[in-house]
Amino acid sequence: MNNQVAIVTGSTKGIGKAIAIKLAKRGIKVIVCGRSSEEGEAVASAICSSGGSAQYMYLDLSSTDSLAAFTHQFKKQHNRLHILVNNAGVSGYMGPVVSTPVNAIRQTFSVNVESIFTLCQELIPMMQQQKYGRIVNISSVAYRLTPANSCTYNMSKAALNAFTQTLAKEVGASGITVNAIAPGLVLTDRIQNERLPGMASKAGVTPNQMLEQLTKGTVTSRLTTEDDIAEATLFLASEGAAAITGQILDVSSGV
Ligand SMILES: NC(=O)c1ccc[n+]([C@@H]2O[C@H](COP(=O)([O-])OP(=O)(O)OC[C@H]3O[C@@H](n4cnc5c(N)ncnc54)[C@H](OP(=O)(O)O)[C@@H]3O)[C@@H](O)[C@H]2O)c1
């Protein structure tokens, strides 16, 4: 996979960072992006210090101006794109449907769906020209588990899956595959620090007890890791995965 170029959105931290590092280890030049410049620069420089190739580019997916500036700058600097990993996503409004403001749907969809639509529209022509491309969208098992109080998120991931399957049919003849990975719970810093304490207090247990319960609830008796998602992404982004397209791959330890 040497000499390939990949964009990984939301790679300043969490799952996206693990994906960026994994792809870079295979000799792929990775464009690390997100809004946190300091973290993004740190990821890119860590990759470069260990012999890989990476560059940080600012990108705010909720802003049409930022998306336009990003795609313009990317096309100016690079004339090739082999892999697009649409990883960035937001949890959106947490609460019951009856109290969810309609605007919350737009906010969640703007990052989790609309920005991916725009990036694909802008960048697919580069892939079509070279008759090769791999697009991997990071969805969530929420599309089928549909947990309560998370309606905008659940809807956005279901929409992303439908987008994935539709786009796959439109670009397949150009050598471009489009797949989605649906992670189960992954213990990123955000989940550990922000979600776990809330889940634990709701269940009346300590965060450690909550972790134990979540682990026991998996088929594999282990929680899914950032590296698990990165490994699956690497596979779908490889030339060897040419016959796999329009698929939603659950990487969720059986949950
Ligand atoms: N962790 C889980 O348990 C889990 C489970 C299922 C699915 N997922 C999905 O996996 C993906 C990554 O999740 P994660 O847990 O790794 O999240 P995370 O740790 O919160 O990281 C989110 C990433 O997205 C970027 N991002 C957020 N809003 C953005 C915006 N407006 N513009 C540009 N970048 C933005 C962030 O970068 P900046 O802050 O620098 O902008 C960050 O790099 C998401 O699509 C999520 O829905 C996660």
Pocket test for ligand 1, best of 36, 186, 225, 255 (most atoms within 8 A of CB): 186
**Quick check: is 153 catalytic?**
yes
Residues 41 and 166 in one domain: yes
Residues 165 and 214 in one domain: no
- In angstroms, rounded to a whole number, what is the distance separating the alpha carbons of residues 188 and 68? 29
**Cβ neighbours of residue 214 under 8 Å, at least 6 residues apart?**
185, 223
**What is the Å distance from ligand 1's center to 86 Cα?**
10
pLDDT digits (tens, 9 = 90+) for 60-80: 999 999 999 999 999 999 989
Residues 117 and 240 in one domain: yes
190 in contact with ligand 1, CB cutoff 6 A: yes
- In angstroms, rounded to a whole number, what is the distance separating the alpha carbons of residues 227 and 247? 20
DSSP symbols for 42-105: HHHHHHHHTT-EEEEEE--TT-HHHHHHHHHHHHHH-S---EEEE--------B-GGG--HHHH
**How many alpha carbons fall within 13 Å on the CB side of residue 119?**
32
87 in contact with ligand 1, CB cutoff 6 A: yes
Residues 74 and 182 in one domain: yes
Among the listed residues 240, 238, 235, 239, the one whose alpha carbon sits nearest the alpha carbon of residue 249:
235
Residues 20 and 106 in one domain: yes
Ligand 1 atom nearest residue 40's Cα: 40
Looking at ligand 1, which residue's alpha carbon is closest to its atom 7? 140
Q: Is 138 helix (H, G, I), strand (E, B) or coil?
A: strand
Residues 180 and 193 in one domain: no
Supply the CATH number for residue 102's domain: 3.40.50.720
Residues 41 and 151 in one domain: yes
Predicted pLDDT at 90: 96
Predicted pLDDT at 1: 76
Residues 20 and 90 in one domain: yes
Torsion angles phi and psi, residue 186, rounded to 5: -120, 125
pLDDT digits (tens, 9 = 90+) for 96-136: 999 999 999 999 999 999 999 999 999 999 999 999 999 99
Torsion angles phi and psi, residue 179, rounded to 5: -135, 165
Torsion angles phi and psi, residue 2, rounded to 5: -60, 150
Residues 232 and 214 in one domain: no
186 in contact with ligand 1, CB cutoff 6 A: yes
Any idea how long the chain is?
A: 255
Looking at the structure of the chain, the number of domains it has is: 2
Please identify every stretch of the chain with a pLDDT value under 70, giving residue numbers as ranges.
Answer: none
What is the DSSP code (8-state) at residue 205? S
**What is the Å distance from ligand 1's center to 226 Cα?**
12
- In angstroms, rounded to a whole number, what is the distance separating the alpha carbons of residues 70 and 122? 10
185 in contact with ligand 1, CB cutoff 6 A: yes
Ligand 1 atom nearest residue 60's Cα: 32
199 in contact with ligand 1, CB cutoff 6 A: no
Amino acid present at 203: A
C-beta separation of 125 from 98 below 8 A: no
Residues 193 and 83 in one domain: no
C-beta separation of 252 from 244 below 8 A: no
Residues 196 and 72 in one domain: no
Residues 235 and 132 in one domain: yes
0.95 exceeded by pTM: yes
CA torsion through residues 115, 118, 124, 126, sign: negative
Residue with tokens 């889940």: 199
Ligand 1 atom nearest residue 9's Cα: 34
Segments forming the whole domain that contains residue 53: 5-186+225-251
Predicted pLDDT at 79: 87
